[in-house]
């Protein structure tokens, strides 16, 4: 089967717009992906024809919205290969999901001296919540180091594990380095000492098939907007037996069973963790975003993105004075780089003048860049709709940056 890049690009209306009188070259997919027509149409239809609150409504629009929202939950469960659809909690995004686990599991079950293992490459949203938990419980955070290529040092990770280790929380794919971590092995090692494993799959969802049974993780999270869906909707998968034991993260409407002024009892899963009116349109449209990716096929997507990554790495390495950070043997289509003594924000500004959208700064990875002795990078991140021609535009744009300075 041939990869129909022309057809795929035609599905994304934003790819046809002009930026500063230049065609848009969108290379900021690690921050957020563009949205296909299918997703845009579903959101528009909801707000123009089907808008109503869900759950408990006695009228047609509420019943229809509830059905579509819960069908989306079932689609996510199938997408992750979860055992039950009630193991799927809808959240605002990966950050919200990780905060939920930190507050509902970490604060409830950790005690002084317990250990939490993170890695050097974690996003701030998988660091700061655990720091809060450690401060409140007396738990201790330990950091698994990486090598100069941006790969986890598995032997050193293994040496950190012991009977005090209760939680291992790590990113499946680094948002800055593109490194694909050996998740199954890391989870297996964590389980051998009785720890639970939490996987941040925000960057993985658009690039690779996710299977929570195969990984055997206790929790996994991702964000809708990273997988061509809406912002403001995310997913937390959790094993049923753990979710049942955890107290609610937030309190209010829809997560209750019975309220009196003396006592409140809580709803069943998954609603125990879904207080208040949710992002209904986002939840519904997430199903269509997932189906769009599955319609192309992850094998095809991975093949295309590996080809783009190989080509982009080769072209960028040809530029004198350009340094790429993150050279893992197993990585996805993210390239972080710096150029001579030119500040990364200046590089991004001049590329923007040419219609090229990249991300600059620390990418919510300040401890990672401390490891490399820098304060940030330029990040070009590619996905299923990017082309080699766009790589060439990036290369030409960087050459113009060098000429400018």
State residue 264's pLDDT score. 63
Q: What is the DSSP letter of 290?
A: H
- For the chain, the straight-line distance linking the first and the last C-alpha, in angstroms and rounded, comes to 45
Domains of the chain: 5-29+297-404 (3.90.1150.10), 41-294 (3.40.640.10)
Mean pLDDT, residues 104-108: 97
Mean pLDDT, residues 204-216: 98
Give the model confidence (pLDDT) of 130-170 as tens digits. Answer: 999 999 999 999 999 999 999 999 999 999 999 999 999 99
| Active-site annotation holds for 364 | yes
Which string of b and e fits 249-265 if b means at least 16 CB within 10 Å? beeeebbbeeeeeeeee
| Per annotation, catalytic residue among 141, 364, 374, 395 | 364
Mean pLDDT, residues 342-371: 97
Model's pTM, two decimal places?
0.95
Mean pLDDT, residues 380-384: 98
E-assigned strands of 201-281?
A: 219-223, 234-238, 256-259, 264-266
Give the model confidence (pLDDT) of 289-333 as tens digits. Answer: 999 999 999 999 999 999 999 999 999 999 999 999 999 999 999
Mean pLDDT, residues 82-104: 98
Binned at pLDDT 50, 70 and 90, residue 220 comes out as very high
What integer best gives the mean pLDDT of the chain? 95
Whether the ω angle into residue 160 lies within 30 degrees of 0, i.e. cis, is no
The order of strands in the sheet holding 359-361 is 322-325, 334-339, 377-381, 359-361
Binned at pLDDT 50, 70 and 90, residue 91 comes out as very high
């Amino acid at each position: 089967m041939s990869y129909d890049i022309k057809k795929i690009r035609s599905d994304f209306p934003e790819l046809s717009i002009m930026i500063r009188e230049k065609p848009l070259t969108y290379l900021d997919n690690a921050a957020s992906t563009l949205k296909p027509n299918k997703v845009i149409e579903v959101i528009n239809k909801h707000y123009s024809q089907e808008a109503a609150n869900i759950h408990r409504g006695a009228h047609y629009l509420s019943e229809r919205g509830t059905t579509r929202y819960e069908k989306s939950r079932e689609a996510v469960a199938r997408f992750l290969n979860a055992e039950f659809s009630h193991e799927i909690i809808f959240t605002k995004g990966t950050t919200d999901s990780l905060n939920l686990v930190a507050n509902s599991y970490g604060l409830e079950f950790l005690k002084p001296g317990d250990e939490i293992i993170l890695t050097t490459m974690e996003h701030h949203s998988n660091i700061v919540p655990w720091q809060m938990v450690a401060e409140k419980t007396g738990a201790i955070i330990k950091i698994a180091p990486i090598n100069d290529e941006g790969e986890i040092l598995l032997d050193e990770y293994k040496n950190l594990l012991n009977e005090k280790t209760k939680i291992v929380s790590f990113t499946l794919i680094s948002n800055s380095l593109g490194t694909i971590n050996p998740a199954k092995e890391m989870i297996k090692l964590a389980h051998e000492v009785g720890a639970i494993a939490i996987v941040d799959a925000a960057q993985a969802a658009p690039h690779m098939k996710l299977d929570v049974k195969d990984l055997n993780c206790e929790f996994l999270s991702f964000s809708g907007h990273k997988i061509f869906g809406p912002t403001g909707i995310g997913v937390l998968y959790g094993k049923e037996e753990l979710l049942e034991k955890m107290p609610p993260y937030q309190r209010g409407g829809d997560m209750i069973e019975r309220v009196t002024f003396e006592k409140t009892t809580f709803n069943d899963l998954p609603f125990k963790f879904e207080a208040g009116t949710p992002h209904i349109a986002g939840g519904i449209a997430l199903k269509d975003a997932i189906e769009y990716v599955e319609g192309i096929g992850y094998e095809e997507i991975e093949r295309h993105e590996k080809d783009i990554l190989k080509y982009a790495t080769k072209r960028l390495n040809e530029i004198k004075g350009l340094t790429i950070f993150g050279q893992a043997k197993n990585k996805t289509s993210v390239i972080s780089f710096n150029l001579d003594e030119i500040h990364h924000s200046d590089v991004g500004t001049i590329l923007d003048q040419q219609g090229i959208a990249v991300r600059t700064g620390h990418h919510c990875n300040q401890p990672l860049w401390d490891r490399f002795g820098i304060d940030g990078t330029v990040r070009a991140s590619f996905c299923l709709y990017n082309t080699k021609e766009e790589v060439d535009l990036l290369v030409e744009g960087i050459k113009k940056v060098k000429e400018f300075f």
